[in-house]
Amino acid sequence: MTLLPNSAQARDVAYLLHPATNARKHERTGPIVMARGEGIHVYDDAGNRYVEAMAGLWSVAVGFGEPRLVDAAARQMGRLPYYHSFSGKSSEPTIDLAERLVKMSPVGLDRVFFTNSGSEANDTVVKLVWFYNNAIGRPEKKKFIARQNGYHGITIASGSLTGLPTNHRGFDLPLPQMKHVSCPHHYRYAHEGEGEEAFADRLAAELEARILEEGPETVAAFIGEPLIGAGGVLPPPATYWEKVQAVCRRHDVLVVADEVINGFGRLGTMFACDHYGIRPDVLVVSKQLTSSYMPIAAVLFSDAIYQGVADGSDRLGTFGHGFTASGHPVAAAVAMENLDIIEERGLVANAAAMGEHLRARLAPFADHPLVGEVRGAGLIAAVELVADRATKAKFDPVGAVGAWFYARAHDHGLIIRAVGDSICFCPPLIVTAADIDDIVDRFAAVLEETAAWVAAGRP
């Protein structure tokens, strides 16, 4: 690709390092520069229109260009554009949002700490739990157990909780306090002939064995996304969460639910904890909280944790953690308006209904010669491409076919996400049945082109 001098593309290549990107490849290809968004569509600076079937990064619940969110930000900017939460200071939007989150969240979550992103939130969870255990006299209880293929962020601590090798390689991660157990993906990891119930039993037994091996007195928490998102859209077996929670309760291990992707309607319930019957000690939310119009995330936690932390802060003189923009009043005001829109427009129910339609439209592709599995829950789904349906053999190298599909989809005006060779869908909660049909029709066209490309030997 030839980049025009002084173009946005050329200046991007000259000055930016992009996340989750091969920097050398990016130098050769340059970026797609997005110029504006409207509803479920975005437009690049050349005027090309795309269906944003990933809601940005799993996050734009109410769609692009929602004027109410713009107005909410402008009103708060005019009133109090910034203030901090340090040393007992606060602002009304921050207080309003904290109260609202506590009242709408699963029972037993009584306090809120604000950060700017899900990564910072999960990093905060680690520090919060470590501080808590120090405060109540359990300084050895510091280990976290997460899952392979789980995604919890990219800071040193949250990146260590993440169970994806691409986020570990080159960074000397994970930290030694972070342990990982098996991924609850039945299609990929069940033994031959093992049903979902037996698979869930085996994973719960593995978790218990790992806790016992490490020593329950050293294991502080188990963290998981109710439905794994960025690891490939992996719904767990039906009884999985019931069984792993029972293990955690037996050994006094906190349950941390990471709903950064799952929360605020994505699974057809306000929280995925409601969908799977999870009663967490800690809940993490972000992304759809403001539809990502403003950066904010929240850690909700139990009163028991709060009391320990509060006592510890009293002894030490402070809780020495926080961010300049923790509970930013503009982000909080946008979050409040965004939650109003989700509730007023029935977007949780719409996600449930449109999710059923999406899965029904995708179901026939389960018989396609390139497809191993079609999966999903609520308004999030994936189609896994395989080299051999009978053996479930992956393509070699993993991800090459998915990357080709991802790039080709842009030519069809469709933005999806390829996780390895799994093609993921996570459209805004405002989608209609006609929008879903359009997404799937475009997907089908790309799938046929991909099948032809694979049959021709991937030239």
Give pLDDT tens digits for 56-114. Answer: 999 999 999 999 999 999 999 999 999 999 999 999 999 999 999 999 999 999 999 99
Share of the chain above pLDDT 90, in %: 98
Question: Does 106 reside within a domain?
Answer: yes
Are both 294 and 380 inside the same structural domain? no
Phi/psi region, residue 47 (left: phi>0; alpha: psi -120 to 50; beta: rest), is left
Question: Does 3 reside within a domain?
Answer: no
Flag whether pLDDT at 337 surpasses 80: yes
Of 325, 344, 363, the domain-final residue: 344
Are both 228 and 82 inside the same structural domain? yes
Q: What is the CATH number of the domain that holds 225?
A: 3.40.640.10
Flag whether pLDDT at 39 surpasses 80: yes
Token pair 């789980």: residue: 150
Q: Which residues pair with 39 in a beta bridge?
A: 64
Are both 93 and 47 inside the same structural domain? no
Are both 313 and 382 inside the same structural domain? no
Q: What is the CATH number of the domain that holds 354?
A: 3.90.1150.10
Question: What is the rounded average pLDDT for all residues in the chain?
Answer: 97
Question: Does 25 reside within a domain?
Answer: no
Query: What is the phi/psi pair of residue 136, to 5°?
Result: -100, 10
Question: Does 15 reside within a domain?
Answer: no
Are both 296 and 362 inside the same structural domain? no
Are both 354 and 449 inside the same structural domain? yes
Are both 180 and 291 inside the same structural domain? yes
Are both 315 and 442 inside the same structural domain? no
Q: What mean pLDDT is predicted for residues 115-141?
A: 98
Of 344, 371, 399, the domain-final residue: 344
Q: Is 219 within 8 Å of 251 (Cβ atoms)?
A: yes
Are both 323 and 447 inside the same structural domain? no
Question: Does 10 reside within a domain?
Answer: no
Question: Does 182 reside within a domain?
Answer: yes
> 40 lies in which domain range?
32-62+346-455
Q: What mean pLDDT is predicted for residues 139-151?
A: 98
| Angstrom distance (rounded) from CA 53 to CA 189 | 28
pLDDT confidence band for 2 (50 / 70 / 90)? confident
pLDDT at 458: 86
Question: Does 202 reside within a domain?
Answer: yes
Question: Listing from the earlier edge strand, what are the strands of the sheet with 414-415?
Answer: 34-38, 41-44, 49-52, 414-415
Of 344, 379, 400, the domain-final residue: 344
pLDDT digits (tens, 9 = 90+) for 410-459: 999 999 999 999 999 999 999 999 999 999 999 999 999 999 999 999 87
Token pair belonging to 412: 């069809």
Are both 198 and 314 inside the same structural domain? yes
Are both 226 and 355 inside the same structural domain? no
**pTM for the structure as a whole:** 0.97
Q: What mean pLDDT is predicted for residues 376-401?
A: 97
Flag whether pLDDT at 270 surpasses 90: yes
Q: Is 286 within 8 Å of 74 (Cβ atoms)?
A: no
Q: What mean pLDDT is predicted for residues 366-377?
A: 98
Helix residue spans in 251-396 (DSSP H): 272-276, 303-316, 329-344, 347-362
| Angstrom distance (rounded) from CA 193 to CA 202 | 13
Distances (CA, A) of 291 to 88, 99, 181, 336: 28, 19, 31, 11
pLDDT digits (tens, 9 = 90+) for 178-208: 999 999 999 999 999 999 999 999 999 999 9
Flag whether pLDDT at 1 surpasses 70: no
What's the number of domains the chain is made of? 2
Are both 190 and 279 inside the same structural domain? yes
Question: Does 27 reside within a domain?
Answer: no
